[in-house]
Structure 1
Amino acid sequence: MKSLEALKARQNHTDILLLKLMRYPPKTDDWSKLQKSTSCKLSLKAYGTSRKTLRRSRVPADVEQEADYETDDEDLLYENSSEDEDYVPKFDNEDYDEYGLDDDWLGDMDVEFNELGQWIGGAGPRRSTSADVENEADVNGDDNEALHGALDSDEECIGNEVGSDGEVDGDRFPEFNPKTDMHNPQFCLGMKFATPKILRAAVREIAIQKGWEALFVKSDSDRINVICKAENCPFLLYASTMQHANTLQIKTYNPTHTCARVNENRMIRVPYLTEKYAEQIKLNPDWSTESLAQAMSAGVKARVSNVQAYRAKKAALARLEADIKEQYARIRDYGDELRRADPNTTIDIKCDFNEGQLPVFKRMYICLGALKMGFRAGCRSILGLDGCHLKSCYGGQLLTAVGLDANNTTWVLAYAMVELENTDIWTWFLDLLAKDLNIRDEGAGWTFISDKQKGLLPAFEEVMPLADLRFCVRHLWTNFNKLFPGKVMKDQLWACAKATTENYFIKEMVLMNQLDPSA
């Protein structure tokens, strides 16, 4: 009784489909395609209806007929025919079922259906729905998702409502985010991927982490079929594009592995190692090949040869060099943008120009306008000058001029990237700095602190000979400690440096003379 009540309740949802089939009986080719539709199969199975029965059927008496509904000619044609020209027993015989079951199985078994005709309980077998995200087509065959009905559609999932624009509201399938999920990929049925490239990278990552080798049986823009390379391993992942969407979705997934972990994993390729260890190689470009190979083997938990480590390092450094070349090519655009943001900014770029060749970068000086005006307005005329080496594939040095603000914190005033330190470069740097700060009278009233940089003292004699020069105590102590080691002499040196008046300075120097006259 329950099954009959369910079928009656379901009649409202299938009357329109049956009317169309009765009105225009399909031909053999169209009928074979129509039977692949899950919604049509469930409807016809529930009513025990075949193609031949539909052709001989009459419109139900309780259903309003169309005004131009044709009856006599077509019905008499099929009733008087002993044989149908396109009759195929597999599809047309109402006693034949492609699953080997009787058409009347619904009436013989105690089963329950909901109002959509879906199996919800009872002794009968469960019918597959889109909730299982099953793929009816063979994974190696053609994908017939375009012919699937509403119940098996990727877009019209059970429990989701379709809006007025045809889009599904509240999609319950998870989406794979490569930025957050790639370090530890986790797959599940129905998971969606933006591109096949992302899915292939995720499969490679999880295969390397778990220690098995993946075999891509099918891999194109529409479908990806992956199995485990080990013999008799049941792992399987099949994904294809969703209906009406350029999105890849997992349709079949069996995560079980019965194979052992492999030490020689062919999924580990040079591009993978380059991408994974590019930042570490960038920070340590002198990393030896043997040490790098050991670090990579420990990281991926598989053997990485010295040749692979060497090629990965070479590719990472080449990528870094290419990135730097692209940045140097747009250095004038960078300067123009700084001047656009602050017209008071000073930028000076020097290049070597050779005939028939592109310009070669030499040095660049930058003094931001806001920092320049702020230093002029409220900072003391004391500057520290220093330089450091740049650790990149092109080398070079960075020169800086740093002051102190009213809170006694550093105020980076100007900086320059140069090829090396010498008198000519320091002269060029000090000349630009004097123009930006409007230093007059050959530097009178200004104090500069340095660590005796190469070529700096001759540059001051040429640009600002009247400026006061002081030296960094930290660098003085480095040389002082070689001749007079020990904490006592170190503390006394700092006491002399911290003296704020001449009398205190003379007092501390007397104490140092008592400790060691030669100091």
Structure 2
Amino acid sequence: MADNTIIEEVILESTYEGPQGDNIFQDEEVIPNECQLIDSNNEVNDNDFHYDNNANEQVLIGLKADHTIELLTTGDEEVGSDEAICPSEEELHTNYSSSEEQAYHFPIYDAEREKFDPQLEVGKEFKNIEEFKEAVRNHGAASRCNFRFKPNDEFRAQAICKLACTWKIWASWNKKKGCVQIKSKNPEHTCIRNRTNRHCTAKYKAKRYLDTFKVDLNWKSKLIIKAVNDDMKLTINKVTAWMARRYARVLIQGSNEHHFGLLRSFAVEILRTNPGSTCIVAIHDLKFQGVYICLEACKRGFFGGCRQLLVLDGCFLKGTFGGQMLVAVELDANHYIYPVAYAIVERENATTWRWFIQHLGEDLKIMNSNEWTFMTDRQKGLQNVIDDLYLEAKHRFCVRHMYINFFRIDFKGLILKEYIWKAAKSTMVLEWMFWMGEMEKESSAAHNWLKKRHPSEGMSHGSMCMSVIE
């Protein structure tokens, strides 16, 4: 008979009972073509010699109603179907035909289930080389072994232990199956485990302890170090622990790029949940220029319990994209800082300040009169904008910036510093005159320098020019 002849169907009598005593076969079952029995010579004799041998060895194949293989029994030994059909390393290198290879079901790497303890076995399939190398790195972190790849390209990779160890594993591209497959492996380690591991990176630790970071996003670095030492027997430094916490924040909260993509949705959500608020996103040529936000609740609080005094200042933003924040705050009845409005812009200059103050004036109904007072630092651009928009309004400067100049002139000492702040915080003329007299007793030169200052610099009678910005 010609080679590669197969048995198309075999009739088995229902003589096997399951573990519960019920008959798991119908009266007659036909073995599907994918379960064909093939002899070692790929031939079937005319006298059914191959079938007789199998029948003598009691090869039973149980089929359920969905026509899936449930159990393979040979003699008194029972094995699972996956164990029965997976080849050994020697069988993987034999010259089987394509029809014979279809009978094998190789294990497929599950990145989600095996990401922290991958099982690297001969025949396991991966999507690409990068997934295989990631599995090897995770295995190295779990086993405290340092691996390197040589050779290493798009279609093949061999991982070997760095410390002249005999452990190695080889994987390459399988053209017939369209995947990367492990071809050989030497599982024996002859090296000594290290307390430091190059594969235990910040990203690996962030993913491994992601559930803990979700509970406590500010997990302390020393506690991260202790957890890694107890669980993995590895030693890491504070920088690696800090980087792991930062990457965990990205996994949980999203990256800055992702948040900027949601800026329009953020503006719509503000207007939906806070009716009457103002949220303006400035975009020019599809490039972000700034965003201005003034909540309705803050406006009502300002009109209901705050004086017509606004403190304006800006600060730098520390992040991926940088930029600056412009803020307008006030002191409430309890002398606490009360936020009114803020804006995020690319840089602090006269143009961005004018844009911010114009929208602020519309929300707070600021009039060009002496009833309003603005307090700022000594930035020339901001001072010119206020003089241009609200010429009649009063303008005061922060005492903190004035004290810097006071200190540079060599008027130093804690006593002079206390007197200048007491005078600046005075709300009555008599109180202000008392502290100025105490300063004159301590240093007449310092007293004369302050007397020459313009009243807008915070030393006028009865003015309240504390540094609430800081």
TM-score (norm 2): 0.54
1:92 equivalenced with 2:42 (yes/no) = no
Letter matched to residue 445 of structure 1: E
**Which residue of structure 2 aligns with residue 207 of structure 1?**
140
Residues 170, 185 of structure 2: 8 Å contact kept: yes
Q: Distance in 1 between matches of 2:19 and 2:364?
A: 90
Q: Distance in 2 between matches of 1:371 and 1:422?
A: 25
Q: Residue 433 of structure 1: CA displacement?
A: 1.2
**Which residue of structure 2 aligns with residue 32 of structure 1?**
37
Q: Distance in 1 between matches of 2:369 and 2:103?
A: 84
Residues 422, 435 of structure 2: 8 Å contact kept: yes
Q: Distance in 1 between matches of 2:274 and 2:336?
A: 24
Residues 282, 291 of structure 2: 8 Å contact kept: yes
Letter matched to residue 381 of structure 1: Q
Q: Relative to 1, partners in 2 of residues 1:333 and 1:125: Cα closer, same or farther, differing over 3 Å?
A: closer
Q: Residue 13 of structure 1: CA displacement?
A: 5.0
Q: Residue 360 of structure 1: CA displacement?
A: 4.0
TM-score (norm 1): 0.49
Q: Distance in 2 between matches of 1:253 and 1:374?
A: 71
Letter matched to residue 395 of structure 2: L
SS in structure 1 at match of 2:291: strand
SS in structure 2 at match of 1:481: helix
1:419-454 deviation line (CA, Å, top 9, x unaligned): 4334443333222212111123x2433333222233
Letter matched to residue 37 of structure 2: S
SS in structure 2 at match of 1:480: helix
1:346-374 deviation line (CA, Å, top 9, x unaligned): 2344454xxxxx34443432222232223
SS in structure 1 at match of 2:28: helix
Q: Distance in 2 between matches of 1:463 and 1:490?
A: 34
**Which residue of structure 1 aligns with residue 390 of structure 2?**
464
Q: Residue 472 of structure 1: CA displacement?
A: 2.6
Q: Relative to 1, partners in 2 of residues 1:459 and 1:205: Cα closer, same or farther, differing over 3 Å?
A: same
1:454-507 deviation line (CA, Å, top 9, x unaligned): 322222222223333333333333332222222222222222233332211111
RMSD over aligned CA atoms reads: 5.7
Q: Relative to 1, partners in 2 of residues 1:195 and 1:480: Cα closer, same or farther, differing over 3 Å?
A: farther
1:338 equivalenced with 2:273 (yes/no) = no
Letter matched to residue 138 of structure 2: E
**Structure 1 portions without partners, runs of 5+:** 1-6, 36-82, 98-102, 104-115, 155-174, 239-249, 276-297, 302-322, 353-357
Letter matched to residue 346 of structure 1: T
Q: Which structure 2 residues correspond to residues 255-270 of structure 1 after superposition, within 5 A? A: 257-259=189-191
Percent of counterpart pairs with the same letter? 28
Q: Which structure 2 residues correspond to residues 116-515 of structure 1 after superposition, within 5 A? A: 128-129=79-80, 136-138=86-88, 140=92, 142=101, 144=103, 185-187=116-118, 201-207=134-140, 210-213=145-148, 228-230=159-161, 233=166, 257-259=189-191, 331-332=263-264, 334-352=266-284, 358-391=285-318, 395-440=322-367, 442-483=368-409, 484-515=411-442
Q: Which structure 2 residues correspond to residues 50-61 of structure 1 after superposition, within 5 A? A: none
Q: Residue 334 of structure 1: CA displacement?
A: 4.4
Q: Distance in 2 between matches of 1:346 and 1:510?
A: 48
Structure of greater Rg: 1
Q: Distance in 2 between matches of 1:188 and 1:364?
A: 51
1:76-124 deviation line (CA, Å, top 9, x unaligned): xxxxxxx9616244x5326986xxxxx8xxxxxxxxxxxx9999xxxx9
Letter matched to residue 138 of structure 1: S
1:36-85 deviation line (CA, Å, top 9, x unaligned): xxxxxxxxxxxxxxxxxxxxxxxxxxxxxxxxxxxxxxxxxxxxxxx961
SS in structure 1 at match of 2:405: helix
Residues 27, 86 of structure 1: 8 Å contact kept: no
Residues 422, 454 of structure 1: 8 Å contact kept: no
Q: Residue 508 of structure 1: CA displacement?
A: 0.9
Q: Distance in 1 between matches of 2:390 and 2:267?
A: 28
Q: Distance in 1 between matches of 2:18 and 2:433?
A: 107
Aligned residues: 342
Q: Residue 401 of structure 1: CA displacement?
A: 0.5
Q: Relative to 1, partners in 2 of residues 1:145 and 1:486: Cα closer, same or farther, differing over 3 Å?
A: farther
Q: Distance in 1 between matches of 2:276 and 2:33?
A: 82
Residues 325, 345 of structure 2: 8 Å contact kept: yes
**Structure 2 portions without partners, runs of 5+:** 1-14, 59-70, 94-100, 172-181, 208-233, 238-254, 447-470
